[in-house]
Amino acid sequence: MTDLHEALRDDVRMLGDCLGQTIENQLGEAFLAKVEHIRKLAKAGRIEEDSEHDQLLEALEALSEDEVLPVARAFTQFLNLANIAEEHHRVRRHLEAAGQDTPESIGQLFRRLLDGGSSVEQIVDGLGGMSVDLVLTAHPTEVNRRTLIQKFDAIADCLKRLDRGEKVEHRLRELISQIWHTDEIRQQRPTPVEEAKWGFAVIENSLWEAVPKFLRALDEQLHEVLGVCLPLDCCPVRFASWMGGDRDGNPNVTATVTEEVLLLSRWQAADLYYRDIDRLRAELSMSRCNSELRSRVGDVGEPYRELLAQLRESLGRTKTWIKARLDGEQVPPQSVLLREDDLLEPLLLCYRSLSECGMQIIAEGLLQDVIRRVACFGMTLVRLDIRQNADRHAEVFDELTGFYGLGRFSDWSERQRCDYLLEELRSRRPLLPRHWQPSESVQEVLDTCAVVARTEPNSLGSYVISMASSPSDVLAVVLLLQEMGLRHNMRVVPLFETLDDLDGASDCIDALLSLDWYRDYIEGHQEVMIGYSDSAKDAGQLAAAWGQFKAQESLTALCQRHGVRLTLFHGRGGTVARGGGPSHTAILAQPPGSVDRSLRVTEQGEMIRFKFGIPEIATRNLELYAGAVLQATLDPAPGPESEWREQMERMASEGMREYRAVVRADEHFVPYFRAATPELELAKLPLGSRPAKRRAEGGIESLRAIPWIFAWTQIRLMLPAWLGSDNALDSATAAGQLPLLHRMYRDWPFFHANIDMLEMVLAKSDPDIAAFYDTRLVSEELRVLGSSLRSRLRRAVELVNDIKQQTRLLTDNPVIRQSIEVRNPYIDPLHFLQAELLLRDRTQPDSRLERALMVTMSGISAGMRNTG
C-alpha cells in the first residue's frame, strides 16, 4: 500500500491527538480508552477480513444510551478533521483533488493549443468571449452547520501557519475544543435567507481573494506565452446563485424572500467594495496625476485619495439606502451606485492616471485587484436565477382563462396554448383583469414576477422552468414577466429533466426558434438547462448520461442551423448519480461544439465548500474551469464513432430496462428501500430550507434526488450510481464486446469519464456494510432483494476492472484509494451504530438516540466526502 504523504499523516495525527485530549478532558480517560478500543477493533476488522467485527459489535452494543452520542460525535469529528487536513494538503501539493494528477496549467494549455494550430488571436478571442457561470445552489447536501464550517476554516488557517513555522498548537486545541462543545446538528432548518448569507460568506471568505489571484495568474500566463495582456474588464468565470431564487418545490422561497435576498446581495457587495476602497485610499497617497484626474478633483494635494473618498461616500450612501429598503422603507435611490460602470469609472480613471504618470506598478497592485473584482462580481456579488415549476405557471393561466370563460388552459392543445400566448404577447392591452382575485398560489407566482420586474437587470440571471417540456412553458413565463412590467428581455430557460423531456428537448427548442416573435425576443442567444438528477432517478445513470449527451448533440446542431448561439446550463450535483465528478474531466467529455466559449453549471451543497472554500483551491478550480472551456472550444474531443454510438444505444436501453425493472416493477423494492436505509429518518435532519419531497404524499417518484441518493450512500450500497449499468456492461461483455469497450474507454472522453466516475463511487461502496443493515433492519422476505443487489454491486466492480484492465479499483489513483481505506475504520463504527440506532428509533423512539442517529448521518457524510 502506498503511504499517505508524511506531512498529511503528521497533520491528521496531530489533529486526532488534540481531539483525544478534548474528549478526555470532558469525559475522562476511561471513555477515551473506550473510543480508542472501538477504533482499533474497526481497523483490525478491515485488515483481518472482518475477523474482529463481532468484537466491534459487542463493544458498540455494550455502550450505554448516554455513551452512544459522544462515541458517534468522536468518530464524526475525527472525520471532519481528516477532511480539513486533506484539503490543506491539496493546497500544499497544488492538487485539484486529493490523489489526482494535476491537469495541465493554463500556460501549458496555451502552448499546446498553439502547437495544435490555434492562433494567438483565436486563444485571446476564446478567453475574451468566454462566459462561464458557476451557479451556487442551496441544495441541502451541506451537513455541517455554518458555525462549524467557520471553525474548520480557522483550523485550515492554523495548518497553513504551522507550515510557516508559527506556534499555533494552543489555538488548534482551542478550536477543536470549541467544535467538540458545539452541537453538530442544527436545531432547526436554515431559512432561504440564511442559505443565501452562507453563499455570500463563501465569496467574502475565499472567492473575494481567489478571483483577483486567478485573473492575475491568467494575465501573467497570457503575457508570458502569447505576448498579450488580459483586459481589465475581462473575467471568463463569474458567479450566479439559486439561493433565495429557487422556489421549485420549496414553499419557503417566496417573493418577499427573493426581494430580501436581492437586496442583501447588493448590500454585501457594497460593503465589501467599501472596505476595499478604504484600503485603497490608504495606499494611494501619491500627489502626481494626469490632467483628466486633476480636472475631476481640483487642486488638491492627494488627488487619488480625494476621488476615492467621494467613491467611498457613494458606497456608504448605497449601503444606507439598501438598509432602509430592507427595513421596509420605500426610499428613492438618489446618489447611490447601482451599476458596475458607476463604480468602475473612477477606478479606471485612477488606473489611467497612475499608468500615465509612470506608476504602472502601483496601478497593477490593489487597484487592479479591485477593478477585476468589479468585472467578476458586479454590484451584486452574484446574479440571482429564479426557478419555478412549469405547472405553477400553467396554474396561473388555468385560473385566468377560466375567469374569462375560455376554458381550461391546461386542457388545450399545445398549438392552442402557443397561439393564445403569442396573441397576448403581441397585444397592447393588459392581460390581467382589474377585479380578478386569484388563488394564493397563483398570486405568489405573480408577486415573484413583479419582484423580478422591478429589480435592476444586473441583479438577475435566468428564469429557469423546471419540468419544462413544450414551447408554451417558455412563452407563458415571458408573458407573465412582461405583464408584471419587465422591460428587458430576461433569459427564460427550459430545464429538461426526465429522459423523455431530454429526448424531446430539440423538438421543443426547434418549435420555439421557428417563431419569429421568439427569435426577436432572444436576440440570437438561447440557453437550455440539462437536468442530471431527475433523469438519473428516472432511467438510471447510464441511460441518463447517454440521453444527456444526445440532447446536447441535437441542441448544438439545431442552434447552429438556426444561427443562434447556444449556452448549455448543466444541473450537476456532487455525486455521480447527479452528474458529479471532476469538473475539468466532465467539460472535456461533452459533445464537440456544445461548449462554445459559454457554459453554466450548478455548484451544489458541500461541493461549494470543497471547491471554493479555501482561496488557493478556489483559484485552482477557477483556472481548471477556464482552461477546460477554452480547450473544449478550440480543441474539442472527436465525436463518437458509429460503432460506439450503436453500442451505447444498446447499453443505455438495457440499463434503463433493468433499472426500472427493480425500482418501478419489483414490488419489494420500495419496502426494502425504506427498511434498509434511513430514508424516512432523513426528514428529521435539518439540512436545508427545502422539504425532502416535492409532494407530501407519493412514493419514490416524489422523492427528491438528493435524499434518494443520500439514503443509499448512508448504507454504502450507492445504488443510484450503478444500478442498470451492471447489466448493460455485463451483457456487452457476454456478447464479446469487451475489446470494443476497451477502445471506447481509451479513445472516447465521454465513455472514459463515465467509467472513471462509476469506478470512484464503486470504490466508496461496501456490500458487507450494506449487508449488516439488512441483518438488523430488513425482514427475511426482503433480504432476498438485498442479497441480489449486493451480488450485482460486486459484479459491477468486476466489470469496471475488466474495462480498465486492472485487478482492483483505483489502481491508477492510489492516494484516493488509500484515503478511502484510511477513513473506513472511522466510518465503520458509525455504520454499525446507525443500524442499531435505526432499529431502536423505529421501535422505541428516544430523543437521545435520535440525536445520535443524526450525528451518525453527519459523520458518514463527512467520511464519504459527499451526501447527495
Q: Render pLDDT for 144-159 as a digit per residue (tens, 0 to 9).
A: 677 888 898 899 999 9
- Residue whose C-alpha cell reads 477543536 in the numeric block: 176
Hey, what's the cell of 802?
475488466
Q: What is the pLDDT of residue 193?
A: 93
Q: What is the pLDDT of residue 607?
A: 83
Task: Estimate the crossing angle of helix 541-562 against helix 725-734, to 10 degrees.
Answer: 90
Hey, what's the cell of 426?
403581441
Q: Do residues 127 and 629 make contact, with C-beta atoms less than 8 angstroms apart?
A: no
Q: CA torsion angle for 693, 696, 698, 703 (degrees, to 10)?
A: 10
- Residue whose C-alpha cell reads 498553439 in the numeric block: 114
Give the whole-angstrom CA distance, residue 210 versus residue 216: 10
Hey, what's the cell of 102?
494535476
Give the whole-angstrom CA distance, residue 856 versus residue 77: 11
Give the whole-angstrom CA distance, residue 624 versus residue 95: 11
Q: Do residues 261 and 313 make contact, with C-beta atoms less than 8 angstroms apart?
A: no
Going by C-alpha positions, the residue among 250, 237, 243, 167 that lies closest to residue 207 is 237
For the chain, helix (H) and strand (E) counts, in that order, are 39, 8
- Residue whose C-alpha cell reads 490593489 in the numeric block: 366
Active site residue 488: no
Q: What is the pLDDT of residue 818?
A: 82
Q: What is the pLDDT of residue 707?
A: 79
Give the whole-angstrom CA distance, residue 194 versus residue 586: 31
Catalytic choice (151, 537, 550, 752): 537
Give the whole-angstrom CA distance, residue 833 versus residue 838: 8
Q: What is the pLDDT of residue 23?
A: 96
- Residue whose C-alpha cell reads 412549469 in the numeric block: 390
- Residue whose C-alpha cell reads 470549541 in the numeric block: 178
Q: What is the pLDDT of residue 825?
A: 86
Give the whole-angstrom CA distance, residue 241 versus residue 148: 23
Residue type, 463: Y
Going by C-alpha positions, the residue among 733, 424, 708, 393 that lies closest to residue 573 is 708
Give the whole-angstrom CA distance, residue 264 versus residue 319: 10
- For the chain, residues classed under CATH 1.20.1440.90 are 261-377
Angstrom distances, CA of residue 631 to CA of 224, 329, 611, 619, 752: 19, 50, 21, 18, 17
List 569's β-bridge partners, or say none. 529, 600
Q: Dihedral of CA 822/823/824/830: which sign? A: positive
Q: What is the pLDDT of residue 525?
A: 98
Angle at 447 between CA 443 and CA 448, to 5 degrees: 120
Give the whole-angstrom CA distance, residue 576 versus residue 533: 9
Hey, what's the cell of 90?
491539496
CB count in 10 Å sphere of residue 850: 17
Residue type, 555: L
Give me the residues of the chain with pLDDT under 50, please: 1-2, 50, 95-101, 140-142, 575-580, 694, 696-697, 867-868
Q: Do residues 385 and 241 make contact, with C-beta atoms less than 8 angstroms apart?
A: yes
Catalytic choice (34, 53, 88, 139): 139
What sections of 142-298 are H helices per DSSP? 146-163, 169-180, 192-202, 208-221, 255-283, 291-297
Active site residue 537: yes
Give the whole-angstrom CA distance, residue 714 versus residue 729: 26
- 261-377 folds as de novo design (two linked rop proteins) (1.20.1440)
Going by C-alpha positions, the residue among 819, 607, 605, 614 that lies closest to residue 158 is 614
